[in-house]
Structure 1
Amino acid sequence: MQLNILGIRGLPAAHGGFESFAAKLAPYMRDRGHDVLVYCQSEGQDASARHEDTWEGIKRVHFSPRLSGAVGTMEFDLACVRDVVKRPGVDLVLGYNTAIFCGLERVRGRKIAMNMDGIEWKREKWGIGAKTWFFVNEVAGANICSVPIADHPAIAEHVARRCRKQPAVIPYGGDLIEEADPTVLLPMGLAPQSYLVSIARIEPENSILEIVRAYSRRPRGAKLVVLGNFDDRNAYHREVKASAGDEVLFPGAIYDQAIVQSLRFHAQAYLHGHTVGGTNPSLVEALGAGNAVIAHDNRFNRWVAGEGHRYFTDENDLDAIISDTTTGGAWLQAARSAARSRHREAFRWDDILAQYEKVLLDLAGGN
């Protein structure tokens, strides 16, 4: 089949979860004998023009928006849609943020699979204008696409209320990490089992402030490593840092996978404060590393991590769980075993990618 992937900034992956997913799916489909085209956002040329190349056997079509920020992203997405309608194949759209543009594809009778991502319009960081935009596009995407794809059963239920289709439930995948070099931790002053780790965007709905405040209530005898990009112009980011005790480290955003994998693998536990969304990649990756998980108590996190882990509803809960953890809590070893079992059961990449291939082949065959 011919597969066209839209909705990301391109390959090789250098941005978020969808790019990382596409970096898994595109080579998988190529190796399975399919032709794959990926749209890429580049710089230095007019968005009305395009250039094409091939990367590791995958065709890439590049556009560069004239504008910046969110408007530039919309300009890029529209250019991709206007181009793809002239090409053969099935379209996979990752995310619904500009789903109304996909109406052009449906007018041309195209087959579209769309990953519906999380419930973006509920995120606290957006103002009323952005929330309205995301809500409209969520409804539009669910109804325009041929097959909506949800990465979590709760997201599938949510999407099903927007349309008359039954979404396909395919979660995000994660690599299995069975060993990691501990020496890469030395520049941060860390040793295996001497710290807990949080890896997330520094946003209110990810409970970063609550995690830092709870951890900083008392001496722990262990470090808390908070990975994420901080901007001192952001009031929330400043508040998080101001709330931190001496045992909290802010190494910034780390993109070196060897370091990130080692941070996960050698941590006492992984802290996950996400309150909105479906199957979060960072939580899945923690399971693949065999992490004991301390997560915000909601239906999204409980389905992903499963039994054997610890869940908190407020800072008092979290304080008690952290104390139990840093004093060598008996729950840790069982939780690590449960993490590997849950990853093996639901989040192996080979299984995830095979499910995507089936959905796309069914679309290509007219089913």
Structure 2
Amino acid sequence: MGEYGATAPAILILGSRGIPAAYGGFETFAERLALYLVARGWRVGVYCQNDVDAVQQRFRTEHWKGVELIQIEVAGHGPSATLLFDAYTVLDAARRDAVCLVLGYNSAVLLPYLRLWGRKVLTNMDGIEWRRPKWSRAIRAWFWINEWIAAWSSQRLIADHPKIADHLATRRPRRSIVTIPYGGDPIAHRDPAPLARLGLTKNDYLVSIARIEPDNNILAIVQAFSRKRRDCRLVVVGGFDGGNAYHAAIQAAASDEVIFTGAIYDPETVTALRGHARAYLHGHTVGGTNPSLVEALWAGNAVLAHDNAFNRGTAGDAQMYFTDVDSCERGIEMILRDDVLVARARAAALTQASEHFVWDDILRAYEAESLAAWEKARRNESKRSRAGNAAPEA
């Protein structure tokens, strides 16, 4: 156990689907931070969403590796269930004496309730969700409004990329913003066995791991790769929906050298796909420090990424970038023919990862921000107590 003992500070983590991690970057981060803080002596609670057909028990508590898992049942699936889950997490968190770390701002309309109850709120503002072209105007307006609410309902805004911090500075003064990126781990073991199940061999394929969305440029990547025979494979990892026109366009554009694996959540398989690829292709255009790109750097991947400030700030200038299908094709051809270029990019990726995206550094920074909020809450409570106990004047 850590250093705080009987006076252990407390933190609640809101905004993820819960832990143990099984979904995405926020869940992985929540798990890493929760376990780190428990080992340091914190009391940690993480809210976990359970989608059910009918609610049997709205709240229940479990414990996992010293973390309190606050399970909340919500009827249904999709955005409405998530919003309902977020509402119940805020109602519960408001009544607990703890710092509230909120991951994302999609339901920030609820955050003023936490402030009314005197909670200290830290919000990881994630990417600029309202810029994503996949959303309707109404949904983009909802995200835009919630971004502003989060900015002014949180005592501290956490940006995971300097360009996100610049954006947030148009909403709040710089003194309210801190930049803490996402982390990753070096790959200690790269079992090639999962490759055989997909018909792949080491260094003879390119890989893309992403949600299949227009702002992730999967169509451009597939079109660029499929313009001619490559004598290698492009592996596209991500879920496809049969009724989605964008997904259908990607599949129609693909040559027979493209493999669509669907979504893969098995860590061993994902690690093998990254660790043995000739290069990682990353088309994201909206967001900050992308977890998948950080993991590719830690895997020592040569990277071909969409050319924007988010990706350049994460991967560094030693990697390769594209802006459209033509430049993506040129990048692919360079990767496939130039072994020296790939070797240099791989070495640069590991250097970039070890200098900027080490989990221990990132988790220490989150602890420092959380502890500052906890101590401020204690000081405020002490002042209120002294004021309440002050003797009336004679």
TM-score (norm 1): 0.97
Q: Distance in 2 between matches of 1:244 and 1:152?
A: 33
Structure 1 counterpart SS, 2:74? coil
Matched, 1:344 2:358: no
Matched, 1:320 2:322: no
Check conservation: 1:172, 1:279, Cα contact below 8 A: yes
Structure 2 counterpart SS, 1:174? coil
Matched, 1:72 2:81: yes
Give the one of 77, 82, 87 matched to 2:96: 87
Q: State the AA in 2 paired with 1:75.
A: L
- Paired residue for 2:28? 20
Matched, 1:98 2:107: yes
Displacement of 1:48: 8.2
Matched, 1:141 2:150: yes
- Paired residue for 2:381? none
Structure 2 counterpart SS, 1:267? coil
- Paired residue for 1:304? 314
Q: State the AA in 1 paired with 2:66.
A: G
Q: Distance in 1 between matches of 2:109 and 2:75?
A: 21
Q: Distance in 2 between matches of 1:126 and 1:270?
A: 27
- Paired residue for 1:125? 134
Q: State the AA in 1 paired with 2:85.
A: F
RMSD of the TM alignment (CA)?
1.3
- Paired residue for 1:243? 253
- Paired residue for 2:291? 281
Q: State the AA in 2 paired with 1:96.
A: Y
Structure 2 counterpart SS, 1:42? strand
Q: 1:103 and 1:47, CA in 2 relative to 1: closer, same or farther beyond 3 A?
A: farther
- Paired residue for 1:232? 242
CA offset digits 1:50-106 (Å, max 9, x no partner): 111211111111111234321111111011101111111100000000011010011
Give the one of 212, 226, 233 matched to 1:223: 233
1:245-260 matches, within 5 Å, as 245-260=255-270
Matched, 1:364 2:370: no
1:21-60 matches, within 5 Å, as 21-44=29-52, 46=55, 49-60=58-69
- Paired residue for 1:213? 223
Q: State the AA in 1 paired with 2:154.
A: C
Check conservation: 1:47, 1:79, Cα contact below 8 A: no
CA offset digits 1:251-283 (Å, max 9, x no partner): 111111111111101111000000111000000
Question: How much identity, in percent, do the aligned residues show?
Answer: 49
- Paired residue for 2:15? 7
Structure 2 counterpart SS, 1:320? helix
Structure 1 counterpart SS, 2:48? strand
State the 4+ residue runs in structure 1 displaced beyond 2 angstroms: 43-49
Displacement of 1:351: 0.9
Gap runs ≥5 in structure 1? none
- Paired residue for 1:150? 159
Which one is further off, 17-26 or 43-52? 43-52
Which one is further off, 163-172 or 291-300? 163-172
Check conservation: 2:23, 2:265, Cα contact below 8 A: no
Which one is further off, 12-21 or 38-47? 38-47
Q: Distance in 1 between matches of 2:77 and 2:343?
A: 48
CA offset digits 1:307-333 (Å, max 9, x no partner): 211111111111111111112342111
Displacement of 1:47: 8.5
Q: Distance in 1 between matches of 2:68 and 2:350?
A: 36
CA offset digits 1:347-366 (Å, max 9, x no partner): 01111111111110111111
Q: Distance in 2 between matches of 1:140 and 1:146?
A: 12
Matched, 1:262 2:272: yes
Q: Distance in 2 between matches of 1:296 and 1:107?
A: 42
Q: State the AA in 1 paired with 2:48.
A: C
Displacement of 1:117: 0.3
CA offset digits 1:4-51 (Å, max 9, x no partner): 011111111121210111111100000011000011111446388311
Check conservation: 2:298, 2:353, Cα contact below 8 A: yes
Higher radius of gyration, 1 or 2: 2
